[in-house]
Structure 1
Amino acid sequence: MTNDKKNKAAAPTMRIDEAAVQAARDNLSDGAVTPGVHPYAEEICKLLNDALATEWVCTLRYRRHHYTAKGLASPAIADEFLTHANEEQAHADRITERIVQLGGAPDLDPDTLSKRSHAEYDASTELQAMIRANLVAERVAIEVYRQMIQLIGDKDPTTSRMLREILAQEEEHADELSDWMAKA
């Protein structure tokens, strides 16, 4: 037997799951949650709700730092804090929309946001401490998003793609903050 015949024999057959396609036709009330995502939707929503809490805590931390930053370098950095706050809020909005698409309920309970957040709120008053706190939070978010992408993988390609896009922006934030640490 030639190598070509062995490779063809060993390769699995690629076929569409027709039963899942029929279920997609039949269960219209499930919206975007098709049979391939359905078994994982609840767990994905839990992961996303914790990420949502993190994004809200980061938004609040950045906004506080924007308004309270003082010092010679602070006006430019404070402006960037506000830019980051707005980008974190956009992440929260995207995550909220995805949770709803998956049939979940976004958990925005103020009493539990900080408990579920992977990042911490920070009330620093010194510019260097603010930069450091935000850099730590960005690095934590980067690690959490990488793990979430790994966990979700191809179980939900739409959520994985969204998380990759958010991750790229979090990495940009961390690079900027790292540069500011060196300059401030």
Structure 2
Amino acid sequence: MNAPEHQQLKLDEQALQRARQHLDDGPVTPSYGPWRDEVVQLLQDALATELVCVLRYKRHYFTAHGLSSPRIAEEFLEHATQEAVHADRLAERIVQLGRDPDFNPDSLTKRSHADYDETSDLKGMLRSNLIAERVAVEAYRQMIQLIGDKDPTTRRILEEVLAEEEEHADDLADLLKE
């Protein structure tokens, strides 16, 4: 058996030359290739999802009632705050990629992967939020796979958000068992 040929690690000098042009594009160099607009669209939909989740968690925070409600409401508020941070990170990345984040309230629920919910009982709120977190986990996993090595910075951001979404789902699943 022959050993595989050693491939030299060497930077693409032509790509480095192209990076010296189009300075108005900021961090977006030509090597982003044809995927930038598709990555931005994935981010826009994820942004909508995070914003809908903030709204759902805030509603549940303010309307939670019952013996366990203060502790669960605080969990909802904590999650709402973290989802808002996720939305900010996604919006910031969209801007870095040279586009404007879409905060249009008229299209948020249409673009969101998760649903808004008006459940009024505590158990239903927990269940609704757990479903939304599981949907977010699946959406982020798929986005990470789709992006692969096409945009390492966006992939890293999505991986960090995914880890927090998994924590949210774990928290909610634990609260549902009580």
Which of 91, 98, 118 is the equivalent residue of 2:93?
98
Residues 133-148 of structure 1: pairs in structure 2 closer than 5 A: 133-148=128-143
Q: Does 1:68 align with 2:63?
A: yes
Q: Which runs of 4+ in 1 moved over 3 A?
A: 11-14
Q: Which residue of 2 aligns with 1:45?
A: 40
Residues 72-87 of structure 1: pairs in structure 2 closer than 5 A: 72-87=67-82
Distance in structure 1 (CA, Å) of the matches to 2:38 and 2:92: 16
What's the TM-score, normalizing by structure 2? 0.96
Q: Which residue of 1 aligns with 2:83?
A: 88
Structure with a larger share of its residues in helix: 1
Which of 8, 13, 19 is the equivalent residue of 1:18?
13
Q: Which has the larger radius of gyration?
A: 1
Kept in 2, the 8 Å contact 1:41–1:103? The answer is no
Structure 1 unmatched ranges of 5 or more: none
What's the TM-score, normalizing by structure 1? 0.93
Distance in structure 1 (CA, Å) of the matches to 2:25 and 2:14: 16
The superposition leaves residues 4-30 of structure 1 with CA deviations (integer Å, 9 ceiling, x where unpaired) of xx3253x44433111111111122111
Which of 149, 158, 183 is the equivalent residue of 2:144?
149
Matching residue's letter, 2:60: H
RMSD, matched Cα? 1.1
The superposition leaves residues 112-150 of structure 1 with CA deviations (integer Å, 9 ceiling, x where unpaired) of 000000000000100000000000000000000000000
Match of 2:106, SS state, is helix
Q: Which residue of 1 aligns with 2:30?
A: 35
Distance in structure 1 (CA, Å) of the matches to 2:137 and 2:118: 22
Post-superposition offset of 1:41: 1.0
How many pairs align? Answer: 178
